Structure 1
């Protein structure tokens, strides 16, 4: 009996999730930013919608570097006195969800060589 009730709850949650995804997809068709993000090779509707939702109103950022910092992708500079670090890591201070969505967009673009510009940049940095 407990198993049946748990299965019922899981089915109900799956139906609610499917309905929410349908509503999100319908709304995303009306948002210009989502359409623009979808034009990037490797970025689908769900990923474009999540990036647009995390950024919100892009006009709040006066400079692209502000958006990079908001995503937590800006490099941290570590230096003390005469010591200067040879490797700089990202700060990770920004939006965790936006950072993850951008990471997924890049990996999708790299997979199958969908986005040649990202592939060239990746190969250059890897060397």
Structure 2
């Protein structure tokens, strides 16, 4: 089985992004561990501290391919609507931690890289699971996400930089 076939099983990656990821990442043997592949992709926040105090909400480093960062961002946005585990991360960051959409998506993308690494390393397709660890279908995943992890509209609007225009 070609590695891109296993990657296609990861929600958000699919048949479009799998070949791009294979082309950029190559084989899992290139990377020592999950931290190494995340660093290669540029999915680490920059460190900015003054007087020993880290500033929260850091932007991502400039390292890593812009193509892979864009692909991971797109994949993470799709995956959070299908995978209950990723949806829970997104929901927690948006609702409980006060992050805005891009920050939450980048956190989801980081977790998605871990899944990509494991699938590349093992060659086994990804199995979508619910919160209890039971295997589920994509449709069941979407239903769970919609029922349990929908970010309220008020929260979403309060996290935006620009206020939404009021419809007449």
Higher relative contact order (CA 8 A, sep 6+): 2
1:10-66 Cα distance to aligned partner (Å, 9 max, x none): xxxxxxxxxxxxxxxxxxxx52x2122111123211211111111112211112111
1:118 match: 86
Q: RMSD across aligned C-alpha pairs, in angstroms?
A: 1.6
> Does structure 2 retain, via aligned residues, the 8 Å contact 1:42–1:115?
no
Q: 2:77 aligns with which of 89, 107, 113?
A: 107
> Does structure 1 retain, via aligned residues, the 8 Å contact 2:12–2:74?
no
TM-score (norm 1): 0.66
Matched, 1:56 2:18: no
Q: Which has more helix, going by share of residues? A: 1
Matched, 1:89 2:59: yes
TM-score (norm 2): 0.52
1:64-113 Cα distance to aligned partner (Å, 9 max, x none): 11111111111111113344312222113111111111111111223xx3
Distance 2:6 2:69 in 1: 19
Q: Show structure 2 runs of 5+ residues with no match.
A: 96-168
